[in-house]
């Protein structure tokens, strides 16, 4: 089972290995200096040589003696062992060995072909205790050894980021073909090192951004490499915890702003000096909820939320409600004032996120009120029944009256146009892809599209009715058109509702309008996260919808199976049943669907004929369906919903603050100050921005025309140089990939001469983080391994004391001999 070479050790080699293991410095030194037959690379029964035994037992002096010996093997294994145990001084001693002078040993793993021609690592049948793809810096990062990681980074060591999972380069293809499992494990080890807090802290100039991007990459890999899903999720959470830990160490507003905004030199504030909040937007995109919900982050967001309204933040709920009421009453006047004076004090107040939110909420509330008001005339029932036609005068076509737009519908159309214009501006600002990523935007787009389709169908019906009315006015002389003979296409518009075609545009318009009204009221859920009580409920509702969509896969599979089965069973008995259930696909669908809610009867499977076999099979299938759907699947759905609710309830504060931050950020961006429909009227500021943009476009166009002639003259020369440039580009790309590493090393080794404010702040925060991590580690309880180290130190001290005693004894003997000689000489002289 173990290495048999340990049984062939000589007595001298056994004594040498024991001395190295127990830290007997005098014996090790004496044997290395005096013995001619000693094989100092001999190994014990576990395959460990003297250097590994000395390192494993933290004997620094013995390690230094062994490293001075030329030809010492397994120095790489000893380094990995020292790193794994956290022996910083031994790591420094090993790195001072000439073998690490070039730095190549630190950059390549033991598996690299360049290192297989020597015994730097152990390549025996047992292998090393570490994976062959683990480099020293990866191992140090795994062990969270900050000081060792710093030493290795100073030596030029780096963790190479693995290629994309779908990479088809020769290197990845060859590794995948040779050993796919080993390739996946090597990627996992590399990502563990990259996600280590020690490596993130010390290797990147912007650890927060690096950790956020790495967490998103790991979360994406968790969905791709499902066999390592839990590992990747754990690493992604580790990166998120690192970001939260750094944010938790901020001590003033300047440091918090640096974390939330990033480097302001690269991300300058907006036009009105509002922070860009790039890190928060990235955290929301990557769903780093604890970072967004952190008190430091929320406090900064709250300050921006009440921008230009600092006094309102400390006011009571009653004062805030009065403010909302004032905005509701004076919204048209505030809009007019903003049109005239957008840069005034009032304009600045209206541009504050809180006032924008209130204005948009009030506008949408008025829109919902218009929807209710539009249906108020039918609350107690319609005036004319579906089989009646009531007109204003005898010559009026009935459909002209029914298709006319009321004043409330015209106002609704204005609001819809205003919301469409707002959505168009948002698409222009964020881009179509980013716009579609938000489900509320998809809901808005669907709601507005249905409104537009409804009004379009209604307008088409009105146009056709108006043409019919024009025909009556021009060609029908009768005083009462009810007694007149009209063409069929004209007479159709005089019919009552019960005679309309199913595809009539007005019927389609009314159906679409009903759907749009439902979606409009469901849009209220968007603003619920603003309240602490309703926010978690809205989040639970959203999670419930997701659970229902997951459940629908199994539900549809079972439902379709029984629907087709029951249809095949009873399709031959059309007219031979007490009801038409299951005789057609439509009836089968209706019966099974409503049976979920207990609205179907058992008589649905009973036949008029004495076909008991078919009837009994129908009873069994119908019973199994009800048990499966009602008892099993519906209860499973309830359990899923309850589980999701419990997850949200356990962390309700974080979930609510994260949802509220997303709501707030939608109002932090510049623009869209006025809500619908007031945004349809352009402000003087809009004309000013339009003139500036047109001017800049004209300047660029003039410059382009000036350079066009020169470009045409140079086109021939450019074409002749394309091949040369292509070759040079290929070579430069290769050199670029080769020099990326050297540039990273120079970035780390050479201190920045003129660091920016952001770099200074990040340096302070990272220092605090590293110190806190080291203190937390030192405060851990003393474990069994540390007690063993103390015993080994005592043993090593004993050997050192014995050596000093022997040296002192030898020196004393020499002094006695010298005294004896001197005494004998004096006696001889006297004689």
For residue 747, pLDDT over 60 is answered with no
For residue 283, pLDDT over 90 is answered with yes
Report the distance separating Cα 30 and Cα 49, nearest Å: 18
Residue 271: band (very low, low, confident or very high) from pLDDT cuts 50, 70, 90 = low
- What pLDDT does residue 755 have? 78
**465 vs 810: which has the higher pLDDT:** 465
Helix (H, G, I), strand (E, B), or coil: what is residue 269? Answer: coil
Report the distance separating Cα 190 and Cα 210, nearest Å: 15
445-478 tens-digit pLDDT: 999 999 999 999 999 999 999 999 898 888 888 8
Domain boundary assignment for the chain: 159-305, 317-521, 535-669
Which backbone phi and psi does 43 adopt, to 5 degrees?
Answer: -125, 155
**Long-range Cβ contacts of 661-665 (<8 Å, 24+ apart):** 661/280, 661/284, 661/292, 661/293, 661/297, 661/298, 661/301, 662/284, 662/529, 663/357, 663/526, 663/527, 663/529, 663/530, 664/301, 664/304, 664/305, 664/353, 665/277, 665/280, 665/281, 665/284
The percentage of residues in the chain with a pLDDT greater than 90, rounded to a whole number, is: 32
For residue 319, pLDDT over 80 is answered with yes
Axis-axis angle for helices 295-305, 253-261 (nearest 10)? 90
- What pLDDT does residue 506 have? 93
Report the distance separating Cα 557 and Cα 559, nearest Å: 6
Tokens 């002192």 correspond to: 808
C-alpha pair distances (Å), 183 with each of 139, 223, 353, 459, 503? 17, 18, 50, 64, 61
Which backbone phi and psi does 221 adopt, to 5 degrees?
Answer: -65, -30
For residue 655, pLDDT over 80 is answered with yes
To 5 degrees, how large is the angle CA 255–CA 260–CA 261?
Answer: 95
Report the distance separating Cα 450 and Cα 434, nearest Å: 22
- What pLDDT does residue 135 have? 87
Residue 383: band (very low, low, confident or very high) from pLDDT cuts 50, 70, 90 = confident
For residue 560, pLDDT over 50 is answered with yes
For residue 96, pLDDT over 70 is answered with yes
Q: Tell which phi-psi region holds residue 273, choosing left (phi > 0), alpha (psi between -120 and 50) or beta.
A: left
Report the distance separating Cα 20 and Cα 250, nearest Å: 48
- What pLDDT does residue 802 have? 64
For residue 17, pLDDT over 80 is answered with yes
**777 vs 358: which has the higher pLDDT:** 358
- What pLDDT does residue 743 have? 39
Residue 790: band (very low, low, confident or very high) from pLDDT cuts 50, 70, 90 = low
Residue count (the chain): 831
Report the distance separating Cα 702 and Cα 705, nearest Å: 5
Report the distance separating Cα 688 and Cα 695, nearest Å: 11
- What pLDDT does residue 706 have? 54
Report the distance separating Cα 575 and Cα 582, nearest Å: 11
- What pLDDT does residue 682 have? 80
For residue 371, pLDDT over 90 is answered with yes
583-630 tens-digit pLDDT: 999 999 999 999 888 888 888 888 888 888 999 999 999 999 999 988
For residue 294, pLDDT over 50 is answered with yes
C-alpha pair distances (Å), 545 with each of 540, 541, 633, 661? 9, 6, 16, 22
489-498 tens-digit pLDDT: 888 988 888 8
- What pLDDT does residue 825 have? 62
Report the distance separating Cα 369 and Cα 450, nearest Å: 19
For residue 76, pLDDT over 80 is answered with yes
To 5 degrees, how large is the angle CA 565–CA 567–CA 570?
Answer: 110
- By CB atoms closer than 10 A (0-12, 13-18, 19+), residue 828 is exposed
For residue 85, pLDDT over 80 is answered with yes
How many distinct helices (H) and strands (E) make up the chain? 36, 0
For residue 4, pLDDT over 60 is answered with no
Closest listed residue to residue 262, CA positions, set 242, 277, 273: 277
- What average pLDDT does the segment 106-111 reach? 67
Residue 803: band (very low, low, confident or very high) from pLDDT cuts 50, 70, 90 = low
Residue 39: band (very low, low, confident or very high) from pLDDT cuts 50, 70, 90 = confident
Residues 6+ apart with CB under 8 A from 546: 644
Give the number of other Cβ atoms within 10 Å of residue 59's Cβ. Answer: 28
Give the number of other Cβ atoms within 10 Å of residue 184's Cβ. Answer: 17
- What pLDDT does residue 301 have? 92
- What pLDDT does residue 778 have? 74
For residue 736, pLDDT over 60 is answered with no
- What average pLDDT does the segment 120-143 reach? 75
- What pLDDT does residue 152 have? 92
For residue 307, pLDDT over 90 is answered with no
- What pLDDT does residue 218 have? 95
Q: Where are the alpha helices (DSSP H) in 431-496?
A: 432-436, 439-475, 488-491
**341 vs 270: which has the higher pLDDT:** 341
**688 vs 392: which has the higher pLDDT:** 392
Whether the CB-CB separation of 417 and 679 falls below 8 Å is answered with: no
- What average pLDDT does the segment 265-269 reach? 62
3-state secondary structure 272-307: CCCCCCHHHHHHHHCCCHHHHCCHHHHHHHHHHHCC
For the chain, the average pLDDT equals: 83
Whether the CB-CB separation of 569 and 615 falls below 8 Å is answered with: no
- What pLDDT does residue 198 have? 93
């Amino acid at each position: 089972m173990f290495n048999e070479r340990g049984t062939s050790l000589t007595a001298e080699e056994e004594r040498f290995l024991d001395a190295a293991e127990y830290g007997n410095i005098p014996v090790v030194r004496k044997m290395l200096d005096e013995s001619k037959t000693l094989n100092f690379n001999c190994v014990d029964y576990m395959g460990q040589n003297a250097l590994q035994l000395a390192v494993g037992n933290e004997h620094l002096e013995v390690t230094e003696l062994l490293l001075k010996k030329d030809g010492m093997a397994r120095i790489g294994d000893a380094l990995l062992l020292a790193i794994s145990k956290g022996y910083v001084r031994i790591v420094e001693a090993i790195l001072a060995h000439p073998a690490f002078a070039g730095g190549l040993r630190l950059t390549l793993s033991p598996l690299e072909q360049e290192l297989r021609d020597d015994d730097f690592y152990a390549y025996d049948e047992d292998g090393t205790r570490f994976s062959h793809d683990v480099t020293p810096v990866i191992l140090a990062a795994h062990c969270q050894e900050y000081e060792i990681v710093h030493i290795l980074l100073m030596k030029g060591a780096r963790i190479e980021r693995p290629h994309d999972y779908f990479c088809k380069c020769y290197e990845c293809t060859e590794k995948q073909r040779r050993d796919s499992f080993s390739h996946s494990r090597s990627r996992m080890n590399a990502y563990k090192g990259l996600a280590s807090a020690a490596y993130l802290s010390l290797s990147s100039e912007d650890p927060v951004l690096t950790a956020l991007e790495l967490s998103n990459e790991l979360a994406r890999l968790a969905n791709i490499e499902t066999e390592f899903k839990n590992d990747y999720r754990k690493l992604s959470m580790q990166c998120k915890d690192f970001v939260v830990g750094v944010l938790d160490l901020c001590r003033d507003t300047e440091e918090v702003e640096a974390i939330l905004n990033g480097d302001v030199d690269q991300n300058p504030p907006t036009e009105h000096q509002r922070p860009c909040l790039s890190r928060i937007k990235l955290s929301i995109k990557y769903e780093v909820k604890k970072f967004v919900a952190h008190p430091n982050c929320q406090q900064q967001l709250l300050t921006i939320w009440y921008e230009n309204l600092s006094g309102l933040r400390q006011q009571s709920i009653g004062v805030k409600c009065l403010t909302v009421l004032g905005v509701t009453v004076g919204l048209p006047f505030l809009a007019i004032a903003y049109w005239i004076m957008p840069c005034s004090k009032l304009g600045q107040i209206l541009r504050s996120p809180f006032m924008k939110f209130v204005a948009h909420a009030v506008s949408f509330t008025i829109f919902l009120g218009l929807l209710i008001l539009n249906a108020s005339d039918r609350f107690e029932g319609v005036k004319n029944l579906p089989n009646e036609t009531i007109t204003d005068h005898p010559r009026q076509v009935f459909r002209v009256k029914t298709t006319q737009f009321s004043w409330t519908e015209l106002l609704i159309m204005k609001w819809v146009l205003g919301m469409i214009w707002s959505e168009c501006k948002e698409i222009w600002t964020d881009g179509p892809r980013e716009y579609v990523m938000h489900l509320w935007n998809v809901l808005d787009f669907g709601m507005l599209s249905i409104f537009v389709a409804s009004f379009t169908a209604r307008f088409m019906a009105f146009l056709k009715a108006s043409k019919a009315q024009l025909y009556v006015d021009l060609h029908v002389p009768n005083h009462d058109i009810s007694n007149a003979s009209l063409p069929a296409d004209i007479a159709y518009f005089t019919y009552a509702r019960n005679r309309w075609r199913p595809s009539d545009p007005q019927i389609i318009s009314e159906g679409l309008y009903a759907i749009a009204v439902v979606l409009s009221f469901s849009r209220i859920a968007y603003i619920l996260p603003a309240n602490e009580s309703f926010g978690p409920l809205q989040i639970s509702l959203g999670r419930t919808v997701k659970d229902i969509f997951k459940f629908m896969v199994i539900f549809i599979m079972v439902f379709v199976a029984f629907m087709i089965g029951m249809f095949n069973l009873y399709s031959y008995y059309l007219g031979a049943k007490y009801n038409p259930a299951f005789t057609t696909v439509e009836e089968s669908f209706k019966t099974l669907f409503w049976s979920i809610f207990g609205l179907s009867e058992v008589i649905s499977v009973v036949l008029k004929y004495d076909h008991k076999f078919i009837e009994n099979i129908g009873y069994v299938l119908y019973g199994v369906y009800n048990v499966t759907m009602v008892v099993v699947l519906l209860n499973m759905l309830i359990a899923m919903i309850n589980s999701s609710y419990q997850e949200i309830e356990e962390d309700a504060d974080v979930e609510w603050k994260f949802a509220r931050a997303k709501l707030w950020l939608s109002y932090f961006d510049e623009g869209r100050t006025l809500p619908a429909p007031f945004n349809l009227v352009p402000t003087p500021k809009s004309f000013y921005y339009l003139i500036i943009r047109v001017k800049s476009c004209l300047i660029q166009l003039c410059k382009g025309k000036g350079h066009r002639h020169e470009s045409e003259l140079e086109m021939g020369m450019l074409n002749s140089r394309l091949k040369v440039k292509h070759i040079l580009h290929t070579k430069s790309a290769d050199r670029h990939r080769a020099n990326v590493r050297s540039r990273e090393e120079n970035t780390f080794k050479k201190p920045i001469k003129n660091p920016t404010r952001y770099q200074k702040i990040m340096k302070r925060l990272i220092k605090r983080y590293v110190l806190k991590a080291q203190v937390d580690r030192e405060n851990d309880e003393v474990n069994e391994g540390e007690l063993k180290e103390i015993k080994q130190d005592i043993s090593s001290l004993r050997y050192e004391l014995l050596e000093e005693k022997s040296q002192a004894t030898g020196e004393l003997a020499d002094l006695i001999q010298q005294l004896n000689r001197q005494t004998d000489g004096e006696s001889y002289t006297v004689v």
